[in-house]
Amino acid sequence: MNPADMKRMVLMDGDRTGIRKKTMQLIQENKITKDEQVQMGNALESMTQNSGWAYIEAYIFRNANLSEILLTDDQSVRLEARGLIKLLHYVNNMITVKNELLRKADDKE
């Protein structure tokens, strides 16, 4: 499986993590503001557009290789892969929340 297919598969599951729902709940409870969330989403999106992020993604997919995970009984390998995938989910979901907030703000105008 090539990295682009793996990334697509990993991110496809990202909306099931509950990260977006928890973040929106924090905004509704005024624990973070919409502006703070948009700022964080912008920062993360900017980070993903830097060449350094490509190296981080390569590291993640090298160390969260699905075939290795499926073929090994090593729990530490599985836990590391799970943590790396959760990091990708977090970044992707924070950018998605930012986009949703901006879209809602545009709709109100």
Other beta carbons within 10 angstroms of residue 27's beta carbon come to 15
Which amino acid is located at 70 in the chain? Answer: L
Q: What is the pLDDT of residue 32?
A: 94
Residue 52 belongs to a domain: yes
Q: What is the pLDDT of residue 54?
A: 92
Residue 12 belongs to a domain: no
Confidence of residue 99 (pLDDT cuts 50, 70, 90): very high
Other beta carbons within 10 angstroms of residue 57's beta carbon come to 17
| Residue 49, CA distances (Å) to 26, 44, 53, 106 in order | 27, 9, 7, 24
Residue 30 belongs to a domain: yes
Q: What is the mean pLDDT of residues 26-47?
A: 95
Residue 104 belongs to a domain: yes
b/e per residue 35-54 (b: at least 16 CB within 10 A): eebbebbeebbeebeeeeee
For residue 92, is pLDDT > 80?
yes
Residue 66 belongs to a domain: yes
Identify the weakest region by mean pLDDT among 23-37, 41-55, 70-84. Answer: 70-84
- Average pLDDT across the chain, whole number: 88
Q: Could you list the residue range(s) of the whole structural domain that residue 74 is in? A: 3-7+17-108
Q: What is the pLDDT of residue 53?
A: 95
Confidence of residue 1 (pLDDT cuts 50, 70, 90): low
Residue 21 belongs to a domain: yes
Q: What is the mean pLDDT of residues 30-35?
A: 95
Q: What is the pLDDT of residue 65?
A: 74
Q: What is the domain count for the chain?
A: 1
